[in-house]
Amino acid sequence: MLLTVDAAGVLPSAAAVLRLLDRRQAGGVADEVLQAVEAALHRAPEQMTPRVVWTTRPLAVQQGHLVVLGRSRGESPLRWSRDGVPSHLAAAGQVSLAVVTLGPELEDESTAAFRRGEYLLGLALDAVGTGAVHRLMAWTRARVRAEARAAGFDAGVPAGPGYDRWPLDDLPAVAAAAGGPLAGVTVTSGLMLDPGKSLCRVIPWLMEKRGGRP
Protein backbone atom coordinates (compact mmCIF):
# COMPACT_ATOMS: atom_id res chain seq x y z
CA MET A 1 0.00 0.00 0.00
CA LEU A 2 1.45 3.36 -1.02
CA LEU A 3 0.10 6.46 0.63
CA THR A 4 1.00 10.12 0.51
CA VAL A 5 0.55 11.69 3.90
CA ASP A 6 -0.22 15.30 4.78
CA ALA A 7 3.11 16.85 5.70
CA ALA A 8 1.58 18.96 8.42
CA GLY A 9 0.29 15.84 10.08
CA VAL A 10 3.75 14.45 10.73
CA LEU A 11 5.46 17.63 11.85
CA PRO A 12 7.03 17.18 15.26
CA SER A 13 6.26 19.61 18.05
CA ALA A 14 8.60 22.52 18.67
CA ALA A 15 9.54 20.87 21.94
CA ALA A 16 10.48 17.68 20.11
CA VAL A 17 12.62 19.62 17.67
CA LEU A 18 14.38 21.37 20.52
CA ARG A 19 15.09 18.00 22.08
CA LEU A 20 16.51 16.78 18.80
CA LEU A 21 18.68 19.87 18.72
CA ASP A 22 20.22 18.69 21.95
CA ARG A 23 18.91 21.41 24.18
CA ARG A 24 21.00 21.06 27.27
CA GLN A 25 20.51 24.42 28.87
CA ALA A 26 17.85 24.12 31.50
CA GLY A 27 17.12 27.81 31.77
CA GLY A 28 15.12 28.21 28.60
CA VAL A 29 15.41 28.70 24.90
CA ALA A 30 16.94 31.70 23.20
CA ASP A 31 14.60 33.71 21.02
CA GLU A 32 16.70 33.07 17.96
CA VAL A 33 16.66 29.32 18.48
CA LEU A 34 12.94 29.28 18.96
CA GLN A 35 12.49 31.48 15.91
CA ALA A 36 14.67 29.15 13.85
CA VAL A 37 12.65 26.16 15.01
CA GLU A 38 9.43 27.96 14.20
CA ALA A 39 10.78 28.99 10.81
CA ALA A 40 11.84 25.43 10.11
CA LEU A 41 8.47 24.08 11.18
CA HIS A 42 6.79 26.68 9.04
CA ARG A 43 8.93 26.00 6.01
CA ALA A 44 9.28 22.23 6.31
CA PRO A 45 5.82 21.15 5.11
CA GLU A 46 6.49 22.75 1.74
CA GLN A 47 9.74 20.81 1.53
CA MET A 48 8.32 17.44 2.47
CA THR A 49 6.48 14.85 0.46
CA PRO A 50 5.82 12.19 3.08
CA ARG A 51 5.15 8.84 1.55
CA VAL A 52 4.69 5.46 3.13
CA VAL A 53 4.61 2.10 1.50
CA TRP A 54 4.15 -1.25 3.09
CA THR A 55 3.32 -4.80 2.29
CA THR A 56 2.33 -7.63 4.56
CA ARG A 57 3.63 -11.12 4.05
CA PRO A 58 3.54 -14.45 5.88
CA LEU A 59 6.56 -15.40 7.94
CA ALA A 60 7.81 -18.90 8.56
CA VAL A 61 10.72 -20.31 10.54
CA GLN A 62 12.83 -22.79 8.61
CA GLN A 63 16.12 -24.32 9.64
CA GLY A 64 17.42 -21.45 11.68
CA HIS A 65 16.14 -18.82 9.31
CA LEU A 66 13.13 -16.57 9.20
CA VAL A 67 11.60 -16.72 5.77
CA VAL A 68 9.26 -14.02 4.53
CA LEU A 69 7.20 -15.73 1.93
CA GLY A 70 6.13 -14.12 -1.28
CA ARG A 71 2.40 -13.95 -1.88
CA SER A 72 2.72 -14.57 -5.56
CA ARG A 73 5.20 -16.11 -7.92
CA GLY A 74 6.60 -12.69 -8.70
CA GLU A 75 7.67 -12.04 -5.13
CA SER A 76 10.88 -13.61 -3.94
CA PRO A 77 11.09 -14.86 -0.39
CA LEU A 78 13.39 -13.01 2.01
CA ARG A 79 15.61 -15.15 4.19
CA TRP A 80 17.07 -13.82 7.42
CA SER A 81 19.36 -15.61 9.82
CA ARG A 82 17.46 -16.13 13.05
CA ASP A 83 20.57 -15.35 15.07
CA GLY A 84 20.75 -11.80 13.83
CA VAL A 85 17.08 -10.88 13.82
CA PRO A 86 15.36 -9.63 17.00
CA SER A 87 13.73 -12.57 18.71
CA HIS A 88 10.23 -11.12 18.83
CA LEU A 89 10.00 -11.34 15.07
CA ALA A 90 10.23 -15.10 15.26
CA ALA A 91 6.90 -15.15 17.09
CA ALA A 92 5.14 -13.35 14.26
CA GLY A 93 2.79 -15.10 11.91
CA GLN A 94 3.34 -12.43 9.33
CA VAL A 95 5.20 -9.18 9.00
CA SER A 96 4.62 -5.81 7.38
CA LEU A 97 7.64 -4.51 5.52
CA ALA A 98 7.46 -0.72 5.56
CA VAL A 99 9.41 2.15 4.07
CA VAL A 100 8.65 5.77 4.88
CA THR A 101 10.27 8.86 3.45
CA LEU A 102 9.96 12.63 3.48
CA GLY A 103 11.54 12.89 0.04
CA PRO A 104 14.81 14.69 -0.69
CA GLU A 105 13.68 18.32 -0.62
CA LEU A 106 13.99 18.96 3.09
CA GLU A 107 17.60 17.79 3.23
CA ASP A 108 18.38 19.90 0.20
CA GLU A 109 16.82 22.87 1.91
CA SER A 110 18.86 22.21 5.03
CA THR A 111 22.07 22.05 3.01
CA ALA A 112 21.09 25.18 1.12
CA ALA A 113 20.49 26.98 4.40
CA PHE A 114 24.00 26.07 5.55
CA ARG A 115 25.40 27.36 2.30
CA ARG A 116 23.54 30.64 2.73
CA GLY A 117 25.04 30.99 6.18
CA GLU A 118 21.74 30.29 7.92
CA TYR A 119 23.29 27.58 10.03
CA LEU A 120 20.70 27.52 12.72
CA LEU A 121 17.88 27.20 10.25
CA GLY A 122 19.77 24.42 8.47
CA LEU A 123 20.19 22.61 11.73
CA ALA A 124 16.56 23.10 12.68
CA LEU A 125 15.32 21.88 9.30
CA ASP A 126 17.38 18.75 9.72
CA ALA A 127 15.96 18.19 13.19
CA VAL A 128 12.43 18.76 11.95
CA GLY A 129 13.07 16.14 9.29
CA THR A 130 14.37 13.66 11.82
CA GLY A 131 11.35 14.18 14.04
CA ALA A 132 8.97 14.04 11.12
CA VAL A 133 10.29 10.84 9.63
CA HIS A 134 9.97 9.08 12.97
CA ARG A 135 6.46 10.41 13.37
CA LEU A 136 5.72 9.15 9.91
CA MET A 137 6.90 5.69 10.89
CA ALA A 138 4.81 5.86 14.06
CA TRP A 139 1.82 6.80 11.95
CA THR A 140 2.53 3.89 9.65
CA ARG A 141 2.82 1.53 12.56
CA ALA A 142 -0.56 2.71 13.79
CA ARG A 143 -2.06 2.03 10.40
CA VAL A 144 -0.49 -1.40 10.28
CA ARG A 145 -1.66 -1.99 13.79
CA ALA A 146 -5.23 -1.17 12.86
CA GLU A 147 -5.00 -3.71 10.07
CA ALA A 148 -3.47 -6.25 12.38
CA ARG A 149 -6.11 -5.76 15.00
CA ALA A 150 -8.88 -6.15 12.52
CA ALA A 151 -7.43 -9.56 11.83
CA GLY A 152 -7.05 -10.46 15.49
CA PHE A 153 -3.34 -9.69 15.69
CA ASP A 154 -1.31 -6.94 17.19
CA ALA A 155 1.53 -5.01 15.59
CA GLY A 156 4.74 -5.54 17.52
CA VAL A 157 7.78 -3.34 17.89
CA PRO A 158 9.25 -2.43 14.51
CA ALA A 159 12.82 -3.46 13.81
CA GLY A 160 14.99 -3.54 10.75
CA PRO A 161 18.38 -4.36 9.28
CA GLY A 162 21.02 -2.51 11.24
CA TYR A 163 19.17 -3.05 14.51
CA ASP A 164 21.27 -4.77 17.10
CA ARG A 165 22.87 -7.76 15.35
CA TRP A 166 20.67 -7.70 12.27
CA PRO A 167 23.10 -7.28 9.36
CA LEU A 168 22.67 -4.15 7.33
CA ASP A 169 23.32 -6.29 4.28
CA ASP A 170 19.65 -7.33 4.44
CA LEU A 171 18.53 -3.72 3.95
CA PRO A 172 18.40 -3.53 0.14
CA ALA A 173 16.20 -6.62 -0.15
CA VAL A 174 13.85 -5.54 2.64
CA ALA A 175 13.52 -2.02 1.26
CA ALA A 176 12.88 -3.34 -2.22
CA ALA A 177 10.35 -5.91 -1.04
CA ALA A 178 8.55 -3.24 0.97
CA GLY A 179 8.12 -1.23 -2.19
CA GLY A 180 10.71 1.41 -1.38
CA PRO A 181 11.24 2.31 -5.03
CA LEU A 182 7.52 3.04 -5.31
CA ALA A 183 8.03 5.73 -2.69
CA GLY A 184 11.23 6.94 -4.35
CA VAL A 185 13.57 5.31 -1.83
CA THR A 186 16.72 3.48 -2.88
CA VAL A 187 19.70 2.11 -0.99
CA THR A 188 23.18 3.51 -1.57
CA SER A 189 26.33 1.46 -2.06
CA GLY A 190 27.07 2.29 1.57
CA LEU A 191 23.75 0.72 2.61
CA MET A 192 22.03 3.96 3.49
CA LEU A 193 18.51 4.83 2.50
CA ASP A 194 18.34 7.63 -0.02
CA PRO A 195 16.73 10.14 0.58
CA GLY A 196 18.31 10.27 4.00
CA LYS A 197 15.09 11.18 5.78
CA SER A 198 13.70 7.71 5.21
CA LEU A 199 13.23 4.66 7.39
CA CYS A 200 12.79 0.98 6.63
CA ARG A 201 11.23 -1.26 9.24
CA VAL A 202 9.78 -4.70 9.69
CA ILE A 203 6.64 -4.71 11.82
CA PRO A 204 5.68 -8.10 13.22
CA TRP A 205 2.06 -9.18 13.50
CA LEU A 206 1.82 -10.97 16.80
CA MET A 207 -1.02 -13.24 17.74
CA GLU A 208 -3.64 -11.63 19.99
CA LYS A 209 -1.01 -9.99 22.10
CA ARG A 210 -3.30 -7.11 22.76
CA GLY A 211 -6.37 -5.43 21.46
CA GLY A 212 -8.01 -8.72 20.75
CA ARG A 213 -11.48 -9.85 21.45
CA PRO A 214 -12.16 -10.12 25.17
Partner 1 sequence: MTRLLEWLTDRRVLVLDGAMGTMLQAQGLPPGGSPERWVLEAPDRIEAIHRAYQEAGADLVETNTFGGSRPKLAEYGLEGRVRDINARAVELARRAVGVRALVAGSIGPTGLFLEPLGPLSFDLAVEIFAEQARAFEEAGADAVIIETMADLAEIRAAVIAVNSTTSLPVIAQMTFDPGGRTFAGTDPAAAVATLEGLGVAVLGANCSLGPKELFPVAQQLVRLAKVPVSILPNAGLPVLEDGITRFPERPDSFADWGRRLAEAGVRLVGGCCGTTPDHIRALRAAVEAVRDRVQPLPTKTTPASAVASRIRAVEFSDAAGPIIIGERINPTSRKKLAADIREGRFALVRAEARSQLAAGAHLLDVNVGVPAIDEAPAMRAAVTAVQQAVDAPLCLDSPDPLALEAGLKVYVGRPLLNSVTAEEERLARVLPLVKKYGAMVIALALDDSGIPMTAEGRLAAARKIVERAEAMGIPRQYLLVDCLVLTAGAQAREAMETPRAIRLVKEELGVRTVLGISNISFGLPARELLTSSYLTVNLAYGLDAAIANPLEPRVWESVRSARLLLGRDPDAGEYLAFARPWAEARATQAAAGAPASATAAAPAAAAPRAGPRPLQGAAAPEFARLGPLEQNPLARSLFQAVLEGNREGILPLTEQALEQGVGPMDILNGMLIPAIEDVGDKFGAGIFFLPQLMLSAEAMKRAFHRLKPELEKLKDGRAERGRVVLATVEGDIHDIGKNIVAVLLENHGFRVMDLGKSVPADRILQAARSEEADLIGLSALMTTTMPRMRDVVQKVSQQGLPVQVMIGGAVTTESYARQIGAHGYGKDARAAVDLAKRLTGEPAGSSAPADAAS
The residues that touch partner 1, with contacts defined as CB under 8 A, are 6, 8-9, 11, 13-15, 18, 21-25, 27-34, 36-38, 41-42, 45, 91, 107, 110-111, 114-115, 117-120, 122-124, 126, 139, 142-143, 145-146, 149-150, 152, 168, 188-192, 194-196, 207-214
Q: How far is the CB of 211 from partner 1 (least distance, A)?
A: 6
Q: Compute the distance between CA of residue 35 and CA of residue 123 in angstroms, rounded to an integer.
A: 12
3-class SS of residue 197? coil
Q: How far is the CB of 11 from partner 1 (least distance, A)?
A: 7
Q: Compute the distance between CA of residue 14 and CA of residue 106 in angstroms, rounded to an integer.
A: 17
Q: How far is the CB of 189 from partner 1 (least distance, A)?
A: 4
Q: Which is nearer to partner 1, 84 or 196 (CB)?
A: 196
Candidates 166, 144, 171; CA nearest to 157 is: 144
Q: Which is nearer to partner 1, 57 or 145 (CB)?
A: 145
Q: Which is nearer to partner 1, 37 or 53 (CB)?
A: 37
Q: Compute the distance between CA of residue 16 and CA of residue 19 in angstroms, rounded to an integer.
A: 5
Residues 88 and 157: beta-carbon distance below 8 Å: yes
Q: Compute the distance between CA of residue 42 and CA of residue 175 in angstroms, rounded to an integer.
A: 30
